Every structure is written in structure tokens, then in C-alpha cells.
Amino acid sequence: MSPLAIDVHDLHKRFGDRVVIDGLTLQVPEGEICGFLGGNGSGKTTTIRMLCGLLRPDSGRGTCLGLDLMYDAARIRLQIGYMTQRFTLYGDLTVAENLEFVAGLYQLPNRRGVVADALERIGLADRAGQLAQELSGGWKQRLALAACVLHHPRLLLLDEPTAGVDAKARREFWDMIHDMAADGMTVLVSTHYMDEAERCQRVVYLAGGRLVVQGSADAVVRDAHLITFQATGAGIERAARLLRKAGGVQTAAVFGSALRIAGTDRAALQNAIAALADAGLHWEEVEPRLDDVFIHILQAQEGGG
């Protein structure tokens, strides 16, 4: 097994009376892309900020890049790249000027050469003289990524990096992430997009500040023991409304021209389908998807199960 880039145990963090992280244990091997998932308020951003030394855990122990989380925060920050949810670079500076400023913060030698190399690697060379505030969302994300990797960090922490950008920009961003991982960089990325989670070697799901599931996307789907049926035909919206109230149906949602229902009790699902026999729908059992599993997990957590 590869050495661990992240190895933390029993982390706790609260803000006032609110418990945000409740006994989190997490290991991420070097060179791996780990997808970090969970609902709003599940503790993803707080965890990332603790890993990069911006927040100190109330208790727990662990290392990040082999450095102690509690006592080596300053040294950890020099070896990681952290991309926040919001664009934080200077809109009234050009792309190149923003990167030169960041290079100065890290006291990098040959700053112009470093910046030129980053511009080329991230595909920003043609926009070097453009003001950052004039960039579209996708190009701003590229600039933020370039600033994060300017100093060649060993670990990249990305907090919902593609929120609000179009599908083409998301795909191109992820292609760059995989290129960096191929060169040995470890990546922890929080996302709400299931297609992005499926591009990760490992997915980790948080709920209520606790890690509730982790593994490859295929393993997470398999281990959920979820059963999924799909229907096509006229009237699927009405059927979805009725099935959400049926026993054993944990989710019922329309995706385009198809209705998908899921649960863990096959007989209950089949009974629910049989009750709609006169609806004229064509049903078939299909493989569950990652989003089916995470909705199932979230509902189980909310229900106390």
C-alpha cells in the first residue's frame, strides 16, 4: 500500500454548542484522487481547513504529508495547495500579475519562469494579460488552480472547485486534475456532482461530521445493497408522486423520460410497482447509481438509521 498523504484519527471540532466534526478518521494514500461528499453542513469544508492548518482540531490526532496536524500547521501549508469555494484572487490584476503575486508570497526563485510554466501547463498563456475580473467562471477556476499548484505542492485540497461552471469547463478541469495525479500529486476534492465522484479512485461520504461510507464508487454502490427499478411510459410524474408514499420505496425520482425507484426491500418495491399495474408503465430492474446510494445514505442518517 502507498504511504498515506492524509492519516487522521478521531478528529473533533465544534463551534460553540454546534458539533461540526464528530470523531472523523480518514486515510488517503499518496497519489490518489479522493472525492469528498456530503450534504450541506456535513463538515467537508471544516475538515479541509483542519487538514491545511487553517483550523485546529479540538481533539484527535494525525498527520498530513507526514507532518503533525496539531504542531506542524505552518510547514503543512507550504506543501499543499488549497482552492476555496470562492474566487479569492485580485480582479484588477491580470492573470500573470496574480500568479506573480502568489509566487512572491511563496518566495519562489525565478518567478517569471515559474509563472510562464504554470500559464502553459494550465492553458492560460493566451490570457496572461487579461484582467482576472474579465474571465468567465471556468477560466477563473483555471487561474485559481494555477495559483494553487504554482509551488508544486504534494497535496491539493479542492473545495467544490467546479461549482457554477459549465459542463465543458468541468470536464477540462478534471482532465487537468488527473494529469497532476498521474505525476504523483494527491488530491482531496469535495463535490456535489456524482459524475465527478465517479472519476475519483475513492469516495468518502460525510454526514453530521462523521464518515459514514468510503471506498471505490463501485464498492460503495455494491455494499449499499440497494435495489433499483426503472419505468418508462406516459404518466411517470404521477406515478412518482404515488410511489413516494409507498412502503419500502426510499426514493422515487424522474430523470428525463424515466422514473427510478430504490430501496433495500425487493418484495416491498415489487408490491409498490404491482399496485400501479394499470398505469401502463414498463418496468425493469437496473443497476443502482452512486446518486441513488448517497440519497439512500442521507435519508438513513436523517431518519436516525
Tens-digit pLDDT profile for residues 15-44: 999 999 999 999 999 999 999 998 888 899
Average pLDDT of span 202-212: 90
State the pLDDT at residue 2.
73
State the pLDDT at residue 40.
82
pLDDT band at 302 (very low <50, low <70, confident <90, very high): low
Q: What SS3 state is found at 263?
A: strand
Q: Are 31 and 19 in contact (CB under 8 A)?
A: no
Residue-wise pLDDT for 76-131, tens only, equals 999 999 999 888 899 999 999 999 999 999 999 999 999 999 999 999 999 999 99
Mean pLDDT check: name the lowest of 12-26, 74-88, 256-270, 290-304: 290-304
Residue 272: pLDDT over 90: yes
Residue-wise pLDDT for 233-254, tens only, equals 989 999 999 999 999 998 898 9
Measuring CA to CA, which residue among 194, 233, 199 is closest to residue 216?
A: 199
d(CA 215, CA 202): 5
Please count the helices (runs of H) and the strands (runs of E) in the chain: 11, 14
Average pLDDT of span 171-182: 93
| DSSP, residue by residue, 15-45 | ETTEEEEEEEEEEEETT-EEEEEE-TTSSHH
pLDDT band at 47 (very low <50, low <70, confident <90, very high): very high
State the pLDDT at residue 1.
61
Residue 74 neighbours by CB distance under 10 Å:
9
Domains of the chain: 4-221 (3.40.50.300), 227-287 (3.30.70.100)
Residue 305: pLDDT over 50: no
Average pLDDT of span 261-267: 94
Helix, strand, coil % (nearest 5) of the chain?
A: 35, 30, 35
